[in-house]
Amino acid sequence: MELVHRDGLARIGKFKTKHGVIETPTVLPVINPNKITITPEEMKSLGAQGIITNSYIIRRTDALREKALKDGVHSLVSFDGPIMTDSGTFQSYVYGDMEYDNRGIVDFQRKIGSDIITILDIFSKPDDTYGMARDAVDETYSRMREIEVGDGEIIAGPVQGSVYQDLREKAARLMSSSDAGYLPVGGVVPLLESYQYDKLVDIVLTARMNSDFSKPIHLFGGGHPMFLAISVLLGVDFFDSASYVKYARDGRMLYPDGTRDLVKLRTLPRWSPIYGKYTVKELLDAESEERTAALSRHNLAAIFMEINEIKERIFQNNLWQYAESRARSHPYLYRAFRRILERNGDLVGFEPLYRKASFHYYDSYSNSHPTLKRLSEFTERFLTENRKETVILPFGSRNPGKRDYGIIRDIYEKYDMNLLVPWCNTYVPIELEDTYPIEQIISSDITDERLHRNELLKVEKIIGKGWVFEKKEMKDHSDITEKSRNFNLEKIRAVADLQFGHSVGKALFPDGCRIITSRATGRLRNILLNDQILATMRAQDGFFTLTVAGAERIRDAVEYPGLRVSVTDDSAEYNSKGFNVFFKFITEYDRGIVASNETIVVDSKDNVVAVGRASVSGREIGDYRSGVAVKTHHSIKSIKDPSEE
C-alpha cells in the first residue's frame, strides 16, 4: 500500500495487484457469477475499479467451475481489472458446513487467477461466547500459516474476534505478522444489518490501530453509503457491497444519508444515472428484471458518489467535519460518532499537527476532537509547570488576544502570571493565540456553562484555589516601568513546546534570540540567533518551519531519536541535497513523531542532513515500505530561505 494523501487514519492510497492499481478508499461491488445484473464493464463507468466474487459458488457450480479453470475468473465475469474472491466463509455461516477445506479453496482461487485470494476463515458471530471467538481467531490464524504465499501473491487474512476487543487486537496483530497482504475485518455483517454502528467503531478502530499500516483494511459487507465516511475516518481502505442489487430487488434505493423505498418517492434525484430515463411510475410499472437493473445502477452510483466525496474530503483535510455532518443525519450514526469521541485518546497519536481547512466548532462535543484533546493536554501540562497566579481574561472566543492587545501585552511583560483566554468552552494560554486551531476556526459560539465551569475548576485544581482570577479587572499599570519578561520570546517558546514537546522551547530559542516581525501584519516571522535563522513562524497555522540550524539545536536538546528519523548513509547523502526521505531507507525513528510536523533527518552518526515534514505519524513509519516519509524543505547542501515556505 502506497500512501498518496492522509487525514488522520483516513488515507488515499495505491494498492497494486496483478491486474492493475486500485486507488483507495473504494468499494468492490459483489458479483454473483450465476446472475450478473449489471456487467462489470458497466460498473467501471459508475466508478468501480475492482470487483469481488465468490470462489465457493464458482467451484460448486459445474459450468462456472469448468469455464473458470479453463479461461480464468476474469474471463468468466468479463472483467479485466482486479478481482478479489471470497472463500465461502459467509455462506458456511448462513447455510451450514463447508464441503471444501482451506488449502483446497485457496488452491482453487489460485488456479482461476484471482488477484486477492481469501483463506477459509472461521466466522465469529456477535453472540459467540468468548471461548468460541478465541478459538475462531486461533484457528483462522492457523489456516493463514498453513498457506505458503507465492511471490507477488496477495492473500487476505481476515481479522475475527466477535465483539471482544482483546481478541480483535490479537487477531489484527497475528494477521499483520503473517504473510497476509490484505486484512479484511470479518464477522460484522450481523452488526451492520442491526445498525449497531457503535460496536463497529470499536471493532474497526481496534483492528486498524493494531495492524500493519502497509496492509489495507477491508470491512466485509460495509458498503452502505451512510456508514462509509465514518468507516474511512477510522482507517478502512476497502469495502464490498452486495446491497446495491439486494436493495434493488426489494425496490429500495440507496442515498448518501440512508435508504428510500421507490413506492414512497415523488421523483428521482438529478445525480442518478437513471434520471431522465425513467420516472418513478415507469419504474414501478416496469418488469421486475428491468426495474432491478435500473435501481442497481442508481445504487452503485450512490455508493461511488459518496466514495468520491470522501476522497475529496481527505485531500482537503476535512473528513472529520464531513463524517460528523453525516453522523448527525441519523441517530444510529450519531451514536457511533459519539463512540469515536469517547475513544479520542486512541486517535490523538494519528492526528496531524494542523490541517489545511479551518477547524469547525459546533458545540461542546467538539471539545472531544483529537486536536482539542491534544491542546487540552498541553494546557494542563503548561499550568502544572507554571503554578502561579493565573488570570482568565474577559474576552471572546475568536482571536483571543486581539482585543486591547497593547494592554494585555503590557500586563504580561510586567507581571509573571499565567494569562488564559476563554476559547470554545475551555481556556488556553494566550501565548498560543495564533496557532492552529485557536485562530484558524469557524465557531458556532454556542457556550456550555457547565463545561466552562468544569474547565475553570480544573484550572483551580492545578494551580490551587485562590490563585485563579476569573474576569479580573484589567487596570492601568503605567506606573510600573520594569519588565519581567518578553511576550514574544515567551510566545515562541510556548508554541515550540506545543509543537515539539516539553521544554524544547528554551533550548531552541535561548535568551539571545532576535525576533523579526512582518512589517505588513505585525506578526512574528523569523527567529534568529547569531544572525542565523532558526525557524520561521508560518502565518497560516502559527507553527514553525525549522532550518538546519534550528534542527541542530533540537537534536542537541532531545534524546535520540527524538523528533527525528535516522536514514542509511547513502540516503543521507541524497537527502542532504534536498531530496525527500523514503520509508525504505529509514533505520530508526521516533514513534512520537506527529504527522505534518517538522521532522529532523539524521545520518548514522546523528548528524543533521535535512529537515522536513512527516507524511505520517511515528506509529506508522515502520510499517510502510514505499513512498515518501518526510518531505524535506531545508538541507545542508541545498539551503532554502524558510520564509519562502
What amino acid positions are annotated as catalytic residues? 86
> Cα 598 to chain center, whole Å?
19
105 near 147, Cβ under 8 Å?
A: no
The torsion angles phi and psi of 574, rounded to 5 degrees, stand at: -70, -45
Query: What is d(CA 590, CA 597) in angstroms, rounded to the nearest whole number?
Result: 12
Question: Dihedral, CA atoms, 210, 213, 214, 219, nearest 10 degrees?
Answer: 80
Q: Which cell is 224 given?
A: 452502505
Query: What is d(CA 10, CA 28) in angstroms, rounded to the nearest whole number?
Result: 18
Question: Dihedral, CA atoms, 189, 190, 193, 199, nearest 10 degrees?
Answer: -90
Handedness of CA 164, 168, 169, 171 (dihedral sign): positive
| 194 CB-contact burial (10 Å; exposed 0-12 / middle 13-18 / buried 19+) | exposed
Give the up-direction half-sphere exposure of residue 522: CA atoms within 13 A in the CB hemisphere: 3
HEC string of 166-220 equals HHHHHHHHHHHHCCCCEEEECCCHHHHHCCCHHHHHHHHHHHHHCCCCCCCEEEC
Query: What is d(CA 151, CA 102) in angstroms, rounded to the nearest whole number?
Result: 20
Q: Which cell is 289 given?
A: 428484471
CA angle, residues 281, 282, 285, in degrees to nearest 5: 85
Query: What is d(CA 588, CA 581) in angstroms, rounded to the nearest whole number?
Result: 13
**Secondary structure class of 237 (helix, strand, coil):** coil
Which letter, b or e, does each residue of 395-423 get, where b requires 16 or more Cβ atoms within 10 Å of its Cβ? bebebbbeeeeeebbbbbbbbebbbbbbb
Please identify which residue in the block is written with the cell numbers 465557531.
Answer: 443
- Give the residue from 353, 242, 250 showing the smallest Cα distance to 300: 242
| 167 CB-contact burial (10 Å; exposed 0-12 / middle 13-18 / buried 19+) | buried
Handedness of CA 59, 62, 64, 65 (dihedral sign): positive
Query: What is d(CA 271, CA 225) in angstroms, rounded to the nearest whole number?
Result: 15
Give the up-direction half-sphere exposure of residue 307: CA atoms within 13 A in the CB hemisphere: 27
